Amino acid sequence: MYRDRLPLFPDTVALRPDKNGQPALHVGGRDLNELAAEFGTPLYIYDQHTIDSAVQAYQDALGRHYSGPAGITYAGKASLNLAMARLMAAHGLLVDCTGVGELHIARTAGVPRAQILLHGVNKSWPDLQAGFAQAGTLVVDNLPELARIAQLAHARGPAPSLWLRVRPGYAVDTHQFRQTGQLDSKFGMDADECVDAVAFCQRNELPVTGLHFHQGSHFHAAEEVLPALDTVCELMGRLQQELDWWPQALSPGGGWGIAYHEKDLPHQSIEEYVATVAAALARNLSSFSLPLPRLQVEPGRSLVARAGVAIYQVGTVKRAGGRRWLLLDGGMADNIRPALYEARYSALPVTDPLGRLPLSENAWLAGPYCESGDLLIEDLPLPDIELGELLAVPVSGAYQLMMASNYNGALRPAVVMLRDGDAHLAQRRETVDDLLLRDIV
Ligand code: LLP
């Protein structure tokens, strides 16, 4: 009945008998009931195999479709902790950090300096100082920031490699809160400012080596990158002509979307996205007899979202005004995305997920927090769900825990990494004492 929801789950999803002989959802070789019993709920699990194969899909596609050098930067803002930073670094990816906080995580994880890239639209002095100390690449958002970088370079010695963030004037089709490439966006520099920035770097002997643009996050048609790519290639021609400067690296940012709900399937593949970008870049640059720049894609969500599953326990079933409410032990404090972007998720019960017929009344899944906006999933066909049952919400690996809060004193959930039947606690659940850590007694 709900079989079309299974592809939303990690690659290793399987139905196997639980200890009572009932079919139960398994991920990474582990029964989700047992993981919930061991680590508590709400629980976030990540299937490493699914992350590994998404990385491989990008690597294969770049190798197959781009004849120049190429690489991947992982946008750490999607999901970053020590285990994730180590995993991405072990795959040879650059790790994109926003500001001093994420830099601290990456460095503590042991990510080598050469693999750390610093982003940020209004970097503070501490961000920039940490960038100088810890990052191999720094993406410059604006001219005042570049002046501060020159000051730091003067005072402390060589700057990391600098890439300039271009504002191409085109956003992708996504929720407006996630659009970044449009003309009036707060991010990046227009073409004239980029020319000024390269000239400034040349005058001040700053190592400017790349261009970067990012039009927004969670788009679904690869062609949407093309107008921006054309604009940036035009800018390259201008920089070449006016300043005799050519980038060693070009990053078209991230933003490739995924399916969150069975209605979003099928979805264009990572390979189709990379192939479209690579072909357009090569086409645009074919008239220049200059080397193809390193194509550095910068995905976050499409590497980690489907690897993650959130497991909640149903504490209350209520009927109100004709609506069936399933009240869970987590919600907007660990996943603000439905409230912020009207994000639409799906779910399955962990026990006998496919064998039970839906009730005629759809279910409304909400959390325990004190507002009606704490609504996780609206109007979802589900069978009769008993008190104490576990529900698994797929595609929970990106931008959920990273935007989590302690609203109503909520404790951030534990995070477990799964690999070949092993479950490794990557982050423990917060305790009530954690809530007092910053208070001065
Ligand atoms: N590069 C830059 C400069 C970015 O700002 C972002 C995301 C990415 C790469 C990665 O984009 P991705 O491949 O993950 O789509 N909180 C929102 C998403 C905000 C994305 C911010 N920037 C959400 O939950 O949908």
- Give the residue whose CA is nearest to atom 8 of ligand 1: 254
Cβ(30) – ligand 1 distance below 6 Å: no
Ligand 1 mean position, distance from CA 30 (Å): 30
Ligand 1 mean position, distance from CA 216 (Å): 7
Residue 202 pLDDT: 98
Residue to mutate, 217, 332, 340, ligand 1, most ligand atoms under 8 Å from C-beta: 217
Cβ(97) – ligand 1 distance below 6 Å: no
- Give the residue whose CA is nearest to atom 7 of ligand 1: 217
Residue 155 pLDDT: 96
Cα–Cα distance for residue pair 262/237, rounded to 1 Å: 44
308 contacts 396 by C-beta, under 8 angstroms: yes
Cβ(75) – ligand 1 distance below 6 Å: yes
Global confidence as pTM: 0.98
Cβ(188) – ligand 1 distance below 6 Å: no
Q: Count CA within 13 A, CB hemisphere, residue 136.
A: 13
Residue to mutate, 74, 77, 186, 189, ligand 1, most ligand atoms under 8 Å from C-beta: 77
Ligand 1 mean position, distance from CA 78 (Å): 7
- Give the residue whose CA is nearest to atom 9 of ligand 1: 254
Cβ(337) – ligand 1 distance below 6 Å: yes
Of 338, 340, 348, 265, whose CA–CA distance to 310 is shortest?
Answer: 348
Cβ(218) – ligand 1 distance below 6 Å: yes
Phi, psi of 26 (to 5 degrees): -120, 145
Residue 147 pLDDT: 98
Select the CATH number that applies to the domain covering 2-40+307-436 from these four: 3.40.190.170, 2.40.37.10, 3.90.320.10, 3.40.50.150.
2.40.37.10
Residue 284 pLDDT: 96
What is the chain's Cα-based Rg? Answer: 23
Ligand 1 mean position, distance from CA 121 (Å): 13
- Give the residue whose CA is nearest to atom 23 of ligand 1: 399
Cβ(301) – ligand 1 distance below 6 Å: yes
Question: Per the residue annotation, which of 97, 194, 201, 370 is the catalytic one?
Answer: 370
Cβ(178) – ligand 1 distance below 6 Å: yes
Nearest atom in ligand 1 to the alpha carbon of residue 78 is 14
Residue 300 pLDDT: 98
Cα–Cα distance for residue pair 5/367, rounded to 1 Å: 22
pLDDT in tens, the chain (441 residues): 799 999 999 999 999 999 999 999 999 999 999 999 999 999 999 999 999 999 999 999 999 999 999 999 999 999 999 999 999 999 999 999 999 999 999 999 999 999 999 999 999 999 999 999 999 999 999 999 999 999 999 999 999 999 999 999 999 999 999 999 999 999 999 999 999 999 999 999 999 999 999 999 999 999 999 999 999 999 999 999 999 999 999 999 999 999 999 999 999 999 999 999 999 999 999 999 999 999 999 999 999 999 999 999 999 999 999 999 999 999 999 999 999 999 999 999 999 999 999 999 999 999 999 999 999 999 999 999 999 999 999 999 999 999 999 999 999 999 999 999 999 999 999 999 999 999 998
Burial of 293 (0-12, 13-18, 19+ CB in 10 A): buried
Ligand 1 mean position, distance from CA 73 (Å): 12
- Compute the CA torsion angle 96, 180, 335, 266 (nearest 10 deg): -90
**Backbone φ/ψ region at 163: left (φ over 0), alpha (ψ -120 to 50), beta:** beta
Cβ(76) – ligand 1 distance below 6 Å: no
Helices marked H in 91-190: 99-108, 125-134, 143-156
- The one-letter amino acid at 266: P
Nearest atom in ligand 1 to the alpha carbon of residue 399 is 24
Cβ(396) – ligand 1 distance below 6 Å: no
Nearest atom in ligand 1 to the alpha carbon of residue 337 is 24
Ligand 1 mean position, distance from CA 217 (Å): 5
Ligand 1 mean position, distance from CA 219 (Å): 11
Residue 441 pLDDT: 87
Q: Active site includes 201? A: no
Cβ(214) – ligand 1 distance below 6 Å: yes
Cα–Cα distance for residue pair 73/89, rounded to 1 Å: 10
Select the CATH number that applies to the domain covering 49-300 from these four: 3.30.70.980, 1.10.150.650, 3.20.20.10, 3.10.180.10.
3.20.20.10
Listed by start position, the domains of the chain span 2-40+307-436, 49-300
